[in-house]
């Protein structure tokens, strides 16, 4: 199996170019980002070129984090900000070579939030041939987040009707919110654009907790892309990587 290091959590104590080099040294097959916008895209591209690592994707900005925002695309009245964030993510992804953009919806509920999210997703999908991802976040970590279940995501993907709109299937969020991870994966296989993982319930490395990743990874054996390690190391990242050699086989 192939694995991608999510540098939003792994080696997060290092400048992004250094984190890319650390991921390469550790044996990862790719990297992915959260919000890299404070680092010039050319610096990220230089580190990627130097290591030969591909970059899978990145997130749109969350908005005003200090006031509690966690995405903009489902916020009625904030369409201009949401689309500016989408444009920014596309431009950054173009420079660094990322193939996917996770559009974050933010906190909200109801028909107006739903309609706003759908229209902003249509804008994103029409603005780039890249894969646009949406990701349900679990109700424990992100109470009130507009997108919280895979069924809701599937319905939105069908409503938007764009071939490049896909589901970010995060085993951690699915495990905490819905359970039955392998069955949910099989049911949703045709709309999944990327897979991420972490232990449940502490979001640590995939070597402990409620989810048996030996079983889960075996069920994902036909997935051709790298699986995204998006876990919180709780200290030195390198000290948590025993699972990598085990599961790469």
Q: Catalytic: 230?
A: yes
Residue 55 sits at φ, ψ, to 5 deg, of -115, 130
Give the ranges where 56-167 is alpha helix by DSSP (H): 79-96, 111-127, 150-160
CB 146 within 8 A of CB 119: no
Please pick, among 69, 135, 159, 178, the residue that the annotation labels catalytic: 135
- Nearest of 168, 218, 174, 236 to residue 200 by alpha carbon: 174
Half-sphere exposure of 46 (CA within 13 A, CB side): 8
Residue 135 bears catalytic tag: yes
> Which of 38, 69, 79, 230 is the catalytic position?
230
> Where do the DSSP E strands lie in the chain?
3-6, 30-32, 57-59, 100-102, 131-134, 165-170, 192-197, 227-229
Which strands sit side by side in the sheet containing 192-197, from one edge to the other? 30-32, 3-6, 227-229, 192-197, 165-170, 131-134, 100-102, 57-59
Q: Catalytic residues, which ones? A: 135, 230
């Amino acid at each position: 199996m192939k694995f991608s290091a999510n540098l939003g959590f792994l080696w997060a104590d290092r400048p992004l170019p250094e984190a890319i080099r650390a991921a390469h040294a550790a044996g990862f097959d790719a990297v992915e980002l959260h919000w890299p916008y404070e680092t010039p895209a050319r610096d990220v591209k230089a580190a990627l070129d130097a290591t030969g690592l591909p970059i899978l994707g990145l997130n749109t900005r969350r908005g005003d984090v200090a006031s509690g925002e966690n995405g903009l695309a489902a916020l009625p009245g904030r369409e201009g900000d949401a689309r500016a964030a989408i444009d920014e993510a596309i431009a950054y992804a173009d420079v660094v070579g990322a193939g996917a953009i996770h559009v974050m919806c933010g906190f909200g509920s109801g028909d107006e939030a739903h309609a706003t999210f759908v229209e902003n997703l249509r804008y994103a999908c029409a603005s780039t041939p890249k894969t646009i991802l949406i990701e349900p976040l679990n109700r424990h970590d992100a109470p009130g987040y507009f997108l919280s279940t895979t069924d809701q995501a599937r319905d939105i993907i069908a409503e938007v009707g764009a071939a490049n709109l896909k589901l970010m299937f995060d085993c951690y969020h699915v495990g905490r919110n819905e359970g039955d991870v392998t069955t949910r994966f099989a049911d949703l296989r045709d709309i999944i654009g990327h897979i991420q993982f972490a232990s449940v319930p502490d979001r640590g490395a995939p070597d402990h907790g409620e989810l048996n990743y030996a079983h889960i990874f075996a069920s994902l054996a036909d997935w051709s892309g790298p699986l995204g390690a998006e876990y919180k190391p709780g200290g030195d990242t390198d000290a948590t990587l025993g699972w990598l050699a085990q599961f790469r086989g």
